[in-house]
A and B are shown apart, each in its own frame.
Chain A
């Protein structure tokens, strides 16, 4: 059997490709029951709670399954549900909206996050930088549901503290979730509050890996910070930022809690992202058949994206 190529462990980049694969080989050829037994509990559990429900979802997606109409039963209807979903403008628009949100938030969060990391790394105000470094964890750890609830409080049109602050400089009052455009902006703003610190922490970890003397040397060569950033620091940041891109893609496809609490997908369907829409079809319209078909399509999208991303990210394995 050909040996799997060992992944290059690129310490410089601070990213280890697939730690599991880096284990040295031993005992080729003879079946060794020990690792199989050690893996069995976790694998069986994940099969039971992860894979079996997915199989059930695929099964349900071929049925007429409206739980508020129990008398019609749950007959198989072939591909009818998929036909309905693929022709459903709301479904496509919810996907499009999810893509839009990604474009509104992630590039901005990356730029802001890297900016914050550079500021914290280079500022002369060491004490304040350390305090900020600790406080960056606050938004990330805050329960997303609570973020949505606090959003309701802060964005309130009449007594919200944000409109009062804007009033001080003669702006507003703004109806933060009153119109389609505003609600989309508000969701993007809230997501940015919660996840920019995440990018900043990842970028800080990357900057920490840059040997200080290389930065010093580059400062002797050039006076423009951009050159130092582009040629010395950015290469150390890229692996982390790739990870950020992957995680944020997955998270925006999953995004539910904060939006559900803050806008319920409204006004109208203006902030109904794909997970929120599927939840409405499944648990407020109670059409489990259609919702399962939508879920299966979303799952396919997630799997394709994850394969693409993992292949890019851990490309050493495929090489």
Chain B
């Protein structure tokens, strides 16, 4: 298996098979397949299209019956949320928190991953289980004590708490994914470095780390995406000044009604960068979600 890069994200589709040739012959079968594919594409795209479209409609058009699929787009909702200030502030909060937590997770996680990939020691299996079992812990269980701790330390309105709490899923993610990556670096490289007199740390920093960069970049992107998408911790651990964007977006629903246009504009601003990232790293998204179990 070669070193993975972002560019080679898409696996080749299974090669043409006998079924392909058969489908080419059967007209009805091919037509059904076409129908199924178009239906699938509509199913995948329509909700996202509807969000973006609603963000570009006037409020009147939003409630129009029959719904408007084509219309004159307007940026008025975007201007609205930017002049009000809460949404841009929350986007900055999301960006700062996600970046800080990602960087911290990479710094903390890569040496650990290297140790797991290269060295042998007692209790390694247990340590591995512990890292992996973090994927199973429900965030609400962590959110309760974190809320009390943050309240006692007077940190409820700080971004630091979110950076720390996001490490609970980011550090394990970096460890899982980069352990795989370090294992792809041939051991001979390490041995050669040792012969040349480099210590284990120098071997790690100057030789392994650069070679594993593509895999670590993928881990970092996934950390960023998961932190950016997070909602529950931000809901219970932040206040007005430090809220992240998903919580701010949900605040457009009030007891007095919902401001659909600004809400969908905010939703679009949240989702678009993630979708662009994900399109590049689609295969690795699956790898990250399955803790590296599915390559």
Query: Does chain A have a CB within 8 A of B73?
Result: no
Query: Does chain B have a CB within 8 A of A193?
Result: yes
The CA-CA distance from A204 to B10 in the complex, in Å, is 11
Find out whether the CB atom of B20 lies under 8 angstroms from the CB atom of A39.
Answer: no
The CA-CA distance from A164 to B66 in the complex, in Å, is 7
Chain A 187-206: CB-based contact to B (< 8 A → 1; otherwise 0)? 00000010001100110111
Q: A19-B179, A39-B111, A247-B290 are in contact. Are A57 and B145 (CB under 8 A)?
A: yes
The CA-CA distance from A255 to B129 in the complex, in Å, is 23
Find out whether the CB atom of B20 lies under 8 angstroms from the CB atom of A50.
Answer: no
Chain A 42-55: CB-based contact to B (< 8 A → 1; otherwise 0)? 11011001100110
Q: A45-B108, A143-B246, A143-B270 are in contact. Are A119 and B36 (CB under 8 A)?
A: yes
Q: Collect the chain B residues with CB atoms within 8 Å of residue A159's CB.
A: 62-65, 67
Find out whether the CB atom of B112 lies under 8 angstroms from the CB atom of A49.
Answer: no
Query: Does chain B have a CB within 8 A of A210?
Result: yes
Contact with A32, one of B119, B260, B289 (Cβ below 8 angstroms): B119
State the main secondary structure of chain B at its contact with A: helix
Find out whether the CB atom of B128 lies under 8 angstroms from the CB atom of A20.
Answer: yes
Find out whether the CB atom of B111 lies under 8 angstroms from the CB atom of A42.
Answer: yes
Find out whether the CB atom of A141 lies under 8 angstroms from the CB atom of B41.
Answer: no
Interface centre among A135, A145, A161 (most CB of B within 10 A): A145
- Name the interface residues of A13-67: CB closer than 8 Å to any CB of B: 14-16, 18-28, 32, 34-39, 41-43, 45-46, 49-50, 53-54, 56-57, 60
Query: Does chain B have a CB within 8 A of A122?
Result: yes
- Closest Cβ neighbor of A74 among chain B residues: B148
Chain B 221-235: CB-based contact to A (< 8 A → 1; otherwise 0)? 000010011011001
Q: A225-B19, A240-B294 are in contact. Are A146 and B249 (CB under 8 A)?
A: yes
Contact with B271, one of A120, A146, A295 (Cβ below 8 angstroms): A146
**Stretch binding the partner chain, chosen from A75-83, A85-93, A99-107, A149-157:** A149-157
Query: Does chain A have a CB within 8 A of B12?
Result: yes
Chain A 209-221: CB-based contact to B (< 8 A → 1; otherwise 0)? 0101001100110
Find out whether the CB atom of A310 lies under 8 angstroms from the CB atom of B119.
Answer: no
Query: Does chain B have a CB within 8 A of A244?
Result: yes
Query: Does chain B have a CB within 8 A of A4?
Result: yes
Q: Collect the chain A residues with CB atoms within 8 Å of residue B133's CB.
A: 303, 306-307, 310
Find out whether the CB atom of A57 lies under 8 angstroms from the CB atom of B144.
Answer: yes
- Closest Cβ neighbor of A149 among chain B residues: B267
| A: number of interface residues (CB 8 Å) | 124
- Closest Cβ neighbor of A118 among chain B residues: B19
Q: Collect the chain B residues with CB atoms within 8 Å of residue A57's CB.
A: 141-142, 144-145
Chain B 49-87: CB-based contact to A (< 8 A → 1; otherwise 0)? 011001000000011111100000000000000000000
Q: Collect the chain B residues with CB atoms within 8 Å of residue A299's CB.
A: 137-138, 141
Query: Does chain A have a CB within 8 A of B167?
Result: yes
Find out whether the CB atom of B109 lies under 8 angstroms from the CB atom of A42.
Answer: yes
Find out whether the CB atom of A291 lies under 8 angstroms from the CB atom of B279.
Answer: no
Find out whether the CB atom of A295 lies under 8 angstroms from the CB atom of B10.
Answer: no
Q: A46-B134, A164-B65 are in contact. Are A120 and B108 (CB under 8 A)?
A: no
Q: Beyond the given A145-B229, A154-B50, A204-B11, please list 7 additional residue pairs across the A-B interface where CB-CB is below 8 A.
A: A18-B128, A32-B119, A122-B20, A143-B270, A279-B140, A295-B138, A306-B136
A-B contact pairs, 29 of them (CB 8 A): A15-B293, A18-B128, A19-B117, A20-B116, A23-B116, A23-B117, A23-B120, A28-B120, A34-B115, A34-B119, A35-B118, A38-B112, A43-B127, A53-B146, A123-B23, A132-B37, A140-B289, A142-B275, A143-B270, A143-B274, A146-B246, A148-B250, A150-B264, A159-B65, A159-B67, A216-B18, A247-B289, A261-B250, A279-B236
- The 9 A-B pairs of least Cβ separation, nearest first, read A141-B278, A42-B112, A35-B119, A219-B18, A56-B145, A35-B115, A306-B136, A53-B145, A38-B115
List A residues at the B interface (Cβ < 8 Å).
Answer: 1, 4, 14-16, 18-28, 32, 34-39, 41-43, 45-46, 49-50, 53-54, 56-57, 60, 116, 119-126, 128-150, 152-154, 158-159, 161, 164, 193, 197-198, 201-202, 204-208, 210, 212, 215-216, 219-220, 225, 239-240, 243-244, 247, 250, 253-254, 256-257, 260-261, 274-275, 278-279, 282-283, 288, 291-292, 295-296, 298-299, 302-303, 305-307, 310, 313, 317
List B residues at the A interface (Cβ < 8 Å).
Answer: 10-20, 23-24, 30, 33-34, 36-38, 40-41, 43-45, 47-48, 50-51, 54, 62-67, 107-109, 111-112, 114-122, 124-125, 127-149, 164-165, 167-168, 171-172, 175, 179-180, 183, 187, 200-201, 204, 225, 228-229, 231-232, 235-236, 246-247, 249-250, 253, 258, 260, 263-264, 267, 270-271, 274-275, 277-279, 282-283, 285-286, 289-295
